[in-house]
Structure 1
Amino acid sequence: MATETTQSTTIGLKRSLRFRDLVLYGIILIQPTAPMPSFGVIYNEAHGHAVTAILLAMVAMLFTSVSYGRMARAYPHGGSAFLYVGKEIHPSLGYLTGWCLVMDYVLNPLICTIWCSRAAMNFLPQVPYIAWAVFFAILFTMLNCNGVETSARINAVMAAVLGLVIVVVLFAAVRWLLHMTNQGAEFWIRPFYDPATFNTSGLLRGTSIAVLTYIGFDGISTLTDEAKDPARSVPRAIVLTCFITGVLASIEVYAAQLTWPLGKAFPDLDTAYVYVSEHIGGPVLFLIVNAALLLANMGSGMASQLGAARLLYAMGQDGALPKKFFGAVHPKNQIPRNNVLLIGAICLVGALVFSYQLGTELLNYGALLAFMGVNLSSMLRGWRSGRMAQWFPMLLSLGGLVTCALLWVSLGTLARYVGTAWALTGILLWLARRRFTALPNEAV
């Protein structure tokens, strides 16, 4: 019996993931077509400077990815912003960070519902938006209630298909550009800087939305227990994934801006990239890109809805939310069915009330707050462990804190109001909970 006990305690997850496996996982998690759904909104808010917005967002995310890597090394068994903030700053702020991340989890399936509805209208414009919104909200909810999950293999195949779509789009863009004549240097530079339309506040607003392109890079930190040499490979993989995403996204957006006629309005801002594809490749490429992005967002919407339901379940089990409702599991499918239905209802109502842009800005509201918390946590850890000997890592974390704060204040006024209302609700729940019980981290 003693031998069996010893063996059971030594068995753990197999450390088989190499550095390149971690990077590939991160790219699949973010999706190689990440800037395509939000391209029109970024382009509009940045006054035509979508490429610059993507690159500026990459700078902020690179700083933040360094901080994530450092914190993943310090806490190898939990890659979460609320854990880092709770341990390094204060459990109360960790709880608030986690609460803001709940909003992100709920908003992800919501914006997928909105985008899928817009993309479906490109196929069947005679069907009204409200009908598509109801259809996708019910579809995601029904599939999740029946325990249908997309496997890692399906996700990998989908990422490969999306990669192929990117290649086809870029090939069509290059072919289109080669047929153009007498284009001066201004034509090639305009996507980065156009003096006729440049506006600093608009660029920052567009950059705050472009952060959505990078959401998900921190997921690599959850593979720490399965990575070879995690102290070295995980931080490097997080940073490299961010960089590759930024470069690839910039190329995709740059090609779109060069090929779309200057000053011409998009037929639909939410699916603008699909219309760029039609412009350079005709109806066939329009159908290919629209269908590929629609399927990708359907998969993302389903997965994120179930992920949000599981997060609410964990909070219900923990006592942060009423356990009777949020902590319940359906006996047949063994899923938190109450939470799936609740999020489905939120997605349905939100898709009818919110715009795609407001949804993305609200999602970034919570993400940027969490990123600021991680950067500050990394700075404090550096100060406690080495003081000025850690000046360079602390300087990088300070860069992440400042850039994320600048982008956070650049979000739309309505998004900041709604996001702050959500944060205040979390504070009230925390105060009510603290009145009866201690937070989990405070008991440690």
Structure 2
Amino acid sequence: MTDMKKTLTLGQVVLFGLAYMTPIIVLGTFGVLAVTTEGAVSGAYVAALVAMLFTAHSYGRMASAFPVAGSAYTYVRKSIDARLGFMAGWAILLDYLFLPMVIWLIGAAYLHSAFPAIPVAVWLLAFIAVTTLINVIGLKLASAVNSVMMLVQILVLTAFVGLAMHYVLGDPAQPFWSLTPFLGANEGFPLPQLMAGAAVACYSFLGFDAVTTLTEETHEPKRTLPRAILLITLCGGLIFIVVSYFVQLAAPGHDFANPDAAAYEIARNIGGDIFVSLFLIGLVVGQFASGIAAQASGSRLLYAMGRDEVLPKRLLGQLGRFGTPVGGLLLSAAVALLALTLDVLSAASFINFGAFLAFALVNTSVIAHYYLRERRRGGLDTLWFLVCPLIGLGAILWLMASLDAKAIVLGGAWLACGALWLTWLTRGFQRPTPELSIEN
């Protein structure tokens, strides 16, 4: 087996990361953020960006220290403790397993807004069935449309912002520059609402660390990947802030008929029937393609863990007729049925619980590896390896505490299940902690 060629430059890695983040999600979650923040969506994205930048700094430092696949799981396992690393991997599994559910729920909410006679449940079941069938057969379709879908997202976002700007300029009573999208429609500084919104807005940033999987194909990965992770986070955050700013100006406040699909209502107001149809096609097809990739990734993680007997091998560690992990795909589809009882806010918050736990542990890993183990405490080292990760850790914990109450309960239950499963696997911690096969 030959080594992979190191062909990727910094710019190429950044583009990959931005594509993985799915920029159009800023429109998909706009309504629930507007309601949560009372009309301060841009402010929520600013708060989320600040927290994510400190965490991205920590990811970059750990990617430089351990340039291998596994991300948060590997960093925590190697720098702190194998058992805590297992729990980090368990948190990552939450994201992989439940992310398709949120993607399909958002798509179903928008289709229901366009065709209200058809219940959300019907659209959701259609998403689950079609996507699962495609993934059981193979991923050729997803590979074929990936680059096209990124282009569609950029075009839709550009058109949406352009029409929103035109709409605002056409209203003499609406100022073009305003602090309202940052501070909310009501007087005062709604900090609790902003932080609750930021906790949901972080959903848009999920995937910024995915470029750590490109280590073997990147020029000077120890130098390139930390820079790429920070640039991806910064560029993605700026996109989210700019788009949400102009959309919030075009639709001030937070009074929507259906917050889960508010961008559909806004698209009709600023662009008419033709544009709203184009917007719906772009968003739904983007969610469909994103759902294919998310379910495929999650099923392969489940397969790797089943193969290594960390999870039941008979159920998850076998490949089907087409060489795909059918057990993991079907489990992902079954889990997605929980969306029938959840709204977008609760579902996205639940996903963020697992992400926040992993983020918190990565910030802690920087302190453990650099500041405590390597004793790098002189000059700027204290700033980079203690102060910055502590700020990142504090921001993440604050965001976690601001999550939807249902998400915290469900997330806590997920952690408890992970702890019980680890106890059983190690026979009460009498055996070594099993190693997860996490290849992102």
* AA matched with 1:244: C
CA offset digits 1:373-429 (Å, max 9, x no partner): 001001111212243122121221111111011101111111111110010001000
- 1:152 is displaced (CA, Å) by 4.5
Q: Does 1:51 align with 2:39?
A: no
Partners of 1:270 and 1:183 lie apart in 2 by 25
Q: Please name the residue that 2:125 is paired with.
A: 134
Alignment-mate amino acid for residue 400 of structure 1: G
C-alpha distance in 2, partners of 1:323/1:183?
60
Q: Please, which of 372, 375, 382 is the counterpart of residue 360 of structure 2?
A: 372
- The worse-fitting range, judged by mean Cα deviation, of 20-29 and 382-391 is 382-391
8 Å contact 2:142–2:292 — kept in the other structure? no
Match for 1:358: what amino acid? S
Q: Pick one of 408, 411, 417 that aligns with 2:409.
A: 417
Q: CA deviation at 1:261?
A: 4.4
Identity, in percent, stands at: 31
| More divergent stretch after superposition (108-117 vs 56-65) | 108-117
Find out whether 1:75 has 2:63 as its counterpart: no
Write the letter of the residue equivalent to 2:433.
L
CA displacement 1:198-231 (0-9 Å, x = unmatched)? 4221111111000011100000111011001111
Map of 2:433 onto structure 1 = 439
What aligned pairs does 1:377-392 form with structure 2 within 5 A after superposition?
377-383=365-371, 384-389=373-378, 390-392=381-383
2:9 maps to 1:12: no
Residue of structure 2 in register with 1:339 after alignment? 328
Distance 1:290 1:198, change over 3 A: farther
Residue pair 1:49, 1:198 contacting (<8 A) in 2 also: no
Deviation at 1:267, TM superposition (A): 2.1
Q: Are 2:17 and 1:26 aligned? A: yes
| C-alpha contact (below 8 Å) 1:72/1:78 kept by paired residues | no
Q: Which residue does the alignment assign to 2:260?
A: 270
Gaps of 5+ in 1: 1-7
Shift of 1:287: 1.0
Determine if the alignment matches structure 1 residue 403 to structure 2 residue 395: yes
Say which is worse superposed, 126-135 or 205-214, in terms of deviation: 126-135
Distance 2:283 2:401 in 1: 30
Match of 1:285 in 2: 275
Distance, in Å, in 2 between the alignment partners of 1:411 and 1:224 is: 33
Q: Deviation per CA, 1:148-170, whole angstroms, max 9, x where unpaired?
A: 44455521221111111111111
1:282: Cα distance to partner? 1.0
RMSD: 1.7
* Separation of aligned partners in 2, 1:53 and 1:350: 27
**Could you say what secondary structure the match of 2:219 adopts?**
coil
Quick one: distance in 1 between partners of 2:60 and 2:426? 32
Structure 2 residue runs of 5 or longer lacking an equivalent are none
**What does the per-residue CA deviation read over 1:329-351, in whole Å, with 9 as the maximum and x for residues that have no partner?**
11x2111111211211221x212
The superposition leaves residues 78-137 of structure 1 with CA deviations (integer Å, 9 ceiling, x where unpaired) of 241011111111110110111111111111110122112112223322112222222111
| Count of residue pairs brought into register by the alignment | 429
Aligned counterpart for 1:358 among listed residues 340, 343, 346? 346
Which segment drifts farther, 430-439 or 203-212?
430-439
Q: Relative to 1, partners in 2 of residues 1:323 and 1:114: Cα closer, same or farther, differing over 3 Å?
A: same
Q: Please tell me whether residue 311 in structure 1 is matched to residue 305 in structure 2.
A: no
Q: Deviations over 1:244-296 (max 9, x none)?
A: 00111101100111011446x21211111222121111111211111111011
Change (3 A) 1:59 1:150: farther
**Alignment match, 2:291:** 301
Report the counterpart of residue 5 of structure 1 in structure 2.
Answer: none
Distance in 2 (alpha carbons) for counterparts of 1:61 and 1:150: 32
Give 1:425's aligned amino acid.
C
Which shifted more, 26-35 or 146-155? 146-155
Partner of 1:4: none
* Alignment-mate amino acid for residue 173 of structure 1: A
Task: Quote how far apart the aligned CAs of 1:193 are.
Answer: 1.5
Contact kept, 8 Å, 2:48 with 2:198, in 1: the verdict is yes
Scaled by the length of structure 1, the TM-score of the pair is: 0.93
Do the aligned partners of 1:72 and 1:79 also contact (CA within 8 Å) in 2? no
Within 1, Cα distance between the matches of 2:350 and 2:401?
12
CA deviations 1:347-366 (Å, max 9, x no partner) are: 1x212112111110010000
Does the CA contact (< 8 Å) of 2:98 and 2:332 recur in 1? no
Contact kept, 8 Å, 1:79 with 1:219, in 2: the verdict is no
Structure 1, 239-248 or 277-286: larger mean CA deviation: 277-286
| Contact 1:79/1:218, CA 8 A, preserved across alignment | no
Indicate if the aligned counterparts of 2:103 and 2:291 stay in contact, CA closer than 8 A: yes
Pairing partner for 2:29 from 30, 38, 43: 38
CA distance, structure 2, for counterparts of residue 69 and residue 152 of structure 1: 28
The reply on whether 1:181 has 2:159 as its aligned counterpart is: no
Partner SS for 1:217: coil
Aligned partners of 1:48 and 1:197 also within 8 Å: no
Q: Cα distance, 1:183 vs. partner? A: 4.3
Structure 1 residue identity aligned to 2:11: R
User: Does the 8 A contact of 2:183 with 2:190 survive in 1?
Assistant: no
Letter in 2 for 1:341: L
Q: In 2, Cα distance between the equivalents of 1:387 and 1:14?
A: 33
Aligned equivalent of 1:327, options 287, 295, 317: 317
How far did 1:35 drift?
1.2
Output the CA distance in 2 between the equivalents of 1:152 and 1:337.
19
Question: In 2, are the aligned partners of 1:150 and 1:303 still within 8 Å (CA)?
Answer: no
Query: What letter corresponds to residue 23 of structure 2 in structure 1?
Result: P
